Amino acid sequence: MNFTDELIKQGDQGGRQAARQLMSSVSAYLKSNVPRISPNVDVVVRVYANLQGLAKVYRDAGVTHDASELEQFVRGFNIGHPMCDMVDAGNGKECADDKIKENFKLHLADVHCKHILFGGSADNGYARLLGPYSADASANTRITLLEGPPFASELRDLLAAQAFASTALPDLFRSTKIVVPRRVPSPLTPPVSPIAKGAAPGNYASAAALNNNSSGNVDVVPTAITTTTGKASTAPACPPLLAFNALNQRIDAPLPYSATLFTALKAKKLCNPYHLLGACHYTHCSHGHGAPLSAKQLLALRQVARLAPCEAGLECRDELCIAGHRCPFGAACRGAACRFGREMHGVDTVIVRVVGGGGV
């Protein structure tokens, strides 16, 4: 489940508002629907998310312009109320899910935890977590399912059997999944193999109550990107190829580029998507388009593009991603000031598996 776009776009203030409003809404729900609970009960909110992946999802979906907007929202949320925490669960696909499930079990077993509002409406996987408690009156009466996007089929079955209560907070959470337009190459770029499923790890866990958990999913739908005026480079510089090491981490294989061309192109501030993918989807792009580049120039520009870190990091599975997946600076790395995350340093670069076509 994801907070509304309007709250996310407000950054710090949106985060503060979300925290205050969530605490108020949960308290009101408990007072009206769970009268056995003392009105003075403490409410604890826990939100688990892959923040790096979620930032990429929001940016690709056009909700935000860059990762800093989500960072500001998270900061505001954590400041907005002392009992509200939004936790970065890590970049692994299941990291947020694992934390949600284990925290759910922990607090449900705690006699001091009076009620749980669980927000994971669009994910059938949570039906397996909740199912064992569906016929247990000592447990199911302490659980309310929070709806954002429509409940997944198996969760609907649990609700139809009246195993759990449900509610919604439409002013706080999106009622639909985030839809990310999938980038596809322009007609000038040769056909590529299908994009690997799960290109952007946007799992988002949010929940509230006397202990809280949840998650959200992302739909990726194909849509053509707008091609800008002019003729893009005809030789694709970003073949649909994914390389992995023994830890199943995506790595950037070395490129035989010209150092001279690299320095020259870096100074020109060219539009990487336009030249490397064949199209630019920005309405007002401030970077250079111009004449097509040669094959050698495209190779050097690929290396330039890798100077910007991919927000999905080592978990990226987007075949058309042209950003960097490990720190390319070597001895020149700025350490703690480096834009690449800690996990993107010292990466094992031995390729053990390749997915897709083309070559490096």
Structure confidence by residue, pLDDT tens digits, 225-267: 333 334 455 444 444 578 999 999 999 988 999 999 999 999 9
Half-sphere exposure of 57 (CA within 13 A, CB side): 26
Tokens representing 353 are 């598996």
CB 352 within 8 A of CB 247: no
Tokens representing 195 are 């994009």
Structure confidence by residue, pLDDT tens digits, 83-129: 999 999 987 667 888 999 999 999 999 999 999 999 999 888 898 89
DSSP 8-state code for residue 246 = T
Q: How confident is the model at residue 133 (pLDDT cuts 50, 70, 90)?
A: very high
Domain ranges of the chain: 5-222, 241-267+296-356
- Please give the pLDDT value at position 194: 35
- Please give the pLDDT value at position 285: 75
Tokens representing 135 are 């016929």
pTM of the model: 0.55
Residue 71 has pLDDT above 90, yes or no: yes
* Strand, coil or helix: 144: strand
